[in-house]
Amino acid sequence: MEYPTGAVVAGYTVVRTLGRGGMGTVYLARHPRLPRNVALKLLSADLSHDPEFRRRFEQEAELVAALEHRSIVNVYDRGEHDGQLWIAMQFVAGGDCHEALFHGGPMPAARALHIVSEVARGLDYAHSRRMLHRDVKPANILLAPGDGPNEPERVMITDFGIAKAIDDAKGLTQTGNIQATFAYAAPERIREDAALTDHRIDVYALGCVFFQLLTNRMAFVGGLGELVEGHTRRPPPRPSDFVPGLPPGFDYVVAKAMAKHPADRFYSCGDLAEAARRSMAEAPPSTPPPRPPYVPPPVTPPRPSSPVGVPYLPGHPSEPTRLAGPTGPRPPVQRRRRWPWVALAAVLVAAAALAAVFLVPWDRSETEDVAAGSAALPAAAELADMTAVVVLEEPDGTNLDLYLMNTNVGRAGLRLTDSPDADRAPSLSPDRRTIAYMSGPTDAAVVRVMASDGTGDRPLFPAPPTGCASMGRPAWNPTDGEVIVVTCQEDDQRSLQVLRVDGEVLQMLDTGGLAPFDPSFARDGQSVLFTGSSDTDDSGGAIYSLAVDGRSAPVLITGTPDGTDANATWSPNGSTILFRTRELNATTRGNFEIAVVDADGENRTIIAADPAQDSGPAWSPDGDRILFSSERDGAGKAGANHLWLVDVDGSAPPTQVGSRSGGAFGYTPSWASR
């Protein structure tokens, strides 16, 4: 039944009917106690009387109510009235994208981009909280005037969780409006392939929506069979075929968002929006002015978490000295195979103006001859907070390569490197748009750099810095994305160097006779954490802090120079240090463990102790979780690890993540910027 104006439903007074659909009816209603209106949705009798749907709907409603984001319609309450389920939501005074297209036709590119960008923010936020939408379409995207005369149009996405409850209870093909559902459904969702279904079904649907906003046409049209054929077999349509004059890059954005396989799509909705924003650019950025001499940025006010402790050596060292060593030609780096999807570049060749906008996957044979360090760093869309860069090894131990991994679903996605070299030890830049990593044999490892989507891969430096016949894992300065710290080895000497990304040596740090390993910057960029060892052939020791200006001695945080501590990094808020250590007790049996310690070396705490070997820990961007390597699942051979995820507060046991078909061993992830 439909309720008239003035009727009281679950305590809410009906003002008018806002809309009807396959899932039920939405009313504008007055809150019984507060001076505000809500959108009151009564679900259809068929859904309300389904026991499985009711159970799942109640579970999803609890989760959705916890989502608080400017681009997501708030859920206030839910319940049952005369046998019908209802949900009270934030009322958005405006229309939706479906109505806007019906009345106004295709949208200007700028408006379509604004809408997609705002929806992407909301979806990525929900994905980071392990919520999928599953029904992204124009009718679920609400529009309202901005909060002021010069404020942009408000964009909010609604109906989170309801579609998921239907899917789980009934399956996609039993959803109320079948054709409307299939019009935006990813191929894996149509096939009901649970193994491939993750947040990228929403990326696919948002690509369909972007196409429709630009053209006022659905990506595929026709009956149910034609929709299934289109989404599962036919190539994505090109918006430029229907609206001349659109940025050529929009064709690429739609094609990538609507790729048939999830691994070929943008990894997040934000990546899609960023690629679309770049395609709107009319010119490459201007040449930056000359850089001033490097001086660590001042800290105002001083950070209370600056590392303090007992100096390992008394007094202050002399002025930093550069380590002597031959600077002969860099060891040759093996050329890598052309990316299997490099043919996509042909779509963009004609659009010369977009050369600085889209970094198309490069052939290694073309990039090896380019002067590394002479151009801007390769960069792509900012990786979502749920995305980590991980190292996976084939089960037969034949190769190491880098992948992106969604930590929410625990599955590796886009393969970033594909080479016979050992690609390892990744580090995410402060803006999460660039990845630096080690490649090659241990005695001749080089630092390479690529964009966050794997494009633009090249050596970072045009020639090895002084004393750098082999380089260790790089780490970025959080306050200056053009500065890194790295350990170098030449013969029997190890050095700790602060470098610009073009190879300029800014500071050769005096480690007080310690052999340095595993450096990482403090969050204020003023100091560097490193493992200091009494043995150049050992990768463990004690954890030290050293000022970047080179004017003070190393400061001991925890451990001893002949110890086993390593892999130290500051938490995102700069209050705690995460590292690997060895504990001798009955639980750990003397194996490596993951630990945290305060800035002053106090409160050293083991995280998720286990008899198995743990190593390579990485913070989540919010500092609440840790991703690490471990043998605790019985990986099958000594030194072989899988990736595990654990909450810092120890509220839940660790869970294994990162498996791929056929199995893969995982090492040294990078999650928060490092």
The 10s digit of each residue's pLDDT in 197-214 is: 888 999 999 999 999 999
CATH number of the CATH domain containing 122: 1.10.510.10
What are the pLDDT digits (tens) for 607-625?
988 888 888 899 999 899 9
Greater model confidence, 584 or 486? 486
Coil, strand, or helix at residue 549?
coil
Q: Are residues 218 and 272 in the same domain?
A: yes
Domain encompassing residue 70:
8-90
Q: Residues 399, 468: contact at Cβ < 8 Å?
A: no
CA distance 614 to 630: 4
Coil, strand, or helix at residue 62?
helix
What's the pLDDT at 200?
92
CATH number of the CATH domain containing 529: 2.120.10.30
Greater model confidence, 597 or 332? 597
What's the pLDDT at 358?
24
CATH number of the CATH domain containing 35: 3.30.200.20
Per-residue pLDDT, averaged over 302-320, amounts to 27
* Backbone φ and ψ of 62, nearest 5°: -65, -40
Per-residue pLDDT, averaged over 6-19, amounts to 89
Q: Are residues 275 and 359 in the same domain?
A: no
Q: Which has the closest alpha carbon to 427: 482, 464, 473, 391?
A: 473
Please say if the pLDDT value at position 296 is more than 70.
no
CA distance 135 to 319: 63
Q: Are residues 99 and 71 in the same domain?
A: no
**What's the gap between Cα 232 and its chain centre?**
27
**Residues involved in catalysis:** 135
Q: Let me know if residue 300 belongs to a domain.
A: no
DSSP H or E run through 547: strand 542-547
Per-residue pLDDT, averaged over 652-662, amounts to 66
Q: Let me know if residue 328 belongs to a domain.
A: no
Q: Let me know if residue 390 belongs to a domain.
A: yes
What's the pLDDT at 398?
64
Structure confidence at residue 584 as a pLDDT band (50, 70, 90) = low
Coil, strand, or helix at residue 167?
helix
DSSP H or E run through 9: strand 8-9
The percentage of the chain sitting over the pLDDT mark of 70, rounded to a whole number, equals 76
Q: Let me know if residue 301 belongs to a domain.
A: no
Q: Let me know if residue 183 belongs to a domain.
A: yes
What's the pLDDT at 236?
92
Q: Let me know if residue 293 belongs to a domain.
A: no
Q: Are residues 499 and 641 in the same domain?
A: yes
Q: Which has the closest alpha carbon to 90: 32, 179, 17, 29?
A: 29
What are the pLDDT digits (tens) for 493-538?
889 999 988 888 889 999 988 999 999 999 999 999 999 988 776 6
What's the pLDDT at 269?
95
How big is the CA angle at 19 (ends 15 and 25), to the nearest 5 degrees? Answer: 85
Q: How many domains does the chain have?
A: 3
Q: Are residues 574 and 624 in the same domain?
A: yes
Please say if the pLDDT value at position 656 is more than 80.
yes
For the chain, the average pLDDT equals 76
Structure confidence at residue 319 as a pLDDT band (50, 70, 90) = very low
What's the pLDDT at 329?
32
Q: Let me know if residue 288 belongs to a domain.
A: no
What's the pLDDT at 274?
92
Greater model confidence, 210 or 3? 210
Q: Which has the closest alpha carbon to 307: 524, 512, 132, 490?
A: 524
Q: Kindly report whether the global pTM for this prediction surpasses the value 0.85.
A: no
> In terms of C-beta density within 10 A (0-12 exposed, 13-18 middle, 19 or more buried), how is residue 261 classed?
exposed
CA distance 24 to 542: 63
Buried b (16+ CB within 10 A) or exposed e, 608-644: bbbebbbbbbbbbbebebbbbbbbbeebeeeebbbbb
Please say if the pLDDT value at position 586 is more than 80.
no
The residue from 55, 90, 125 where one domain ends is: 90
What's the pLDDT at 353?
27
* Backbone φ and ψ of 324, nearest 5°: -75, 155
Please say if the pLDDT value at position 568 is more than 90.
yes
Tell me the residue length of the chain: 674
> In terms of C-beta density within 10 A (0-12 exposed, 13-18 middle, 19 or more buried), how is residue 665 classed?
buried
DSSP lists the bridge partners of residue 528 as 521, 546
CA distance 1 to 282: 54
Q: Are residues 462 and 583 in the same domain?
A: yes
Q: Let me know if residue 614 belongs to a domain.
A: yes
Please say if the pLDDT value at position 571 is more than 90.
yes
Coil, strand, or helix at residue 409?
coil
Q: Residues 209, 97: contact at Cβ < 8 Å?
A: yes
Greater model confidence, 383 or 170? 383
Per-residue pLDDT, averaged over 431-446, amounts to 90
What's the pLDDT at 557?
93
The residue from 42, 75, 90 where one domain ends is: 90
DSSP lists the bridge partners of residue 627 as 618, 645
Q: Are residues 272 and 419 in the same domain?
A: no
> In terms of C-beta density within 10 A (0-12 exposed, 13-18 middle, 19 or more buried), how is residue 377 classed?
buried
**What's the gap between Cα 585 and its chain centre?**
37
Greater model confidence, 338 or 74? 74
Q: Are residues 487 and 554 in the same domain?
A: yes
What's the pLDDT at 359?
25
The residue from 47, 73, 90 where one domain ends is: 90
CA distance 435 to 378: 9
Q: Which has the closest alpha carbon to 672: 414, 384, 462?
A: 384
Q: Are residues 441 and 577 in the same domain?
A: yes
What's the pLDDT at 23?
67
Per-residue pLDDT, averaged over 114-126, amounts to 94
What's the pLDDT at 490?
85
What are the pLDDT digits (tens) for 534-557?
877 666 889 999 999 888 899 999
The percentage of the chain sitting over the pLDDT mark of 90, rounded to a whole number, equals 30
Q: At what angle do helices 269-279 and 249-257 cross, to 10 degrees?
A: 170
DSSP string covering 203-253: HHHHHHHHHHHHHSS-SS-SSHHHHHHHHHTSPPP-GGGTSTTS-THHHHH
What's the pLDDT at 123?
93
CA distance 414 to 271: 13
Q: Are residues 55 and 106 in the same domain?
A: no
CA distance 576 to 158: 38
Greater model confidence, 273 or 280? 273
Q: Residues 116, 138: contact at Cβ < 8 Å?
A: no
Structure confidence at residue 54 as a pLDDT band (50, 70, 90) = confident
Q: Are residues 119 and 236 in the same domain?
A: yes
Please say if the pLDDT value at position 246 is more than 60.
yes
How big is the CA angle at 14 (ends 13 and 20), to the nearest 5 degrees? Answer: 145
Q: Are residues 78 and 183 in the same domain?
A: no
Please say if the pLDDT value at position 301 is more than 80.
no
What's the pLDDT at 660?
43
